Amino acid sequence: MALMTPGINIGTTLENMARWETGWGNPLITWEYVHRLTGLGLQTVRRPVASDTYVENGRITAKQFERVA
């Protein structure tokens, strides 16, 4: 396990079907928040995304794609 680093899972924030990122009362994920995590020694951030929830005509919308990126 030498390649594993300390990390965090930002829950299912980008999987809510009603209001996406804030649907379960979570705040928006910001660069500042992620940067603070690195200050705590966390080196890996996992953001689960249910992209099939936010598609139009079989494609993820540009707005959602940009937000995930």
- Secondary structure (H, E, C), the chain: CCCCCCEEECCCCECCCCCHHHCCCCCCCCHHHHHHHHHCCCCEEECCECHHHHEECCEECHHHHHHHC
- Would residue 1 count as lying in a domain? no
- Would residue 2 count as lying in a domain? no
Query: Is the pTM of the predicted complex or chain greater than 0.85?
Result: no
- Would residue 51 count as lying in a domain? yes
Predicted local confidence at residue 25, as pLDDT: 86
Q: What is the number of domains present in the chain?
A: 1
pLDDT (mean) for 38-50: 87
Indicate whether 1 pLDDT > 80. no
Its domain, for residue 38, covers 7-68
- Would residue 27 count as lying in a domain? yes
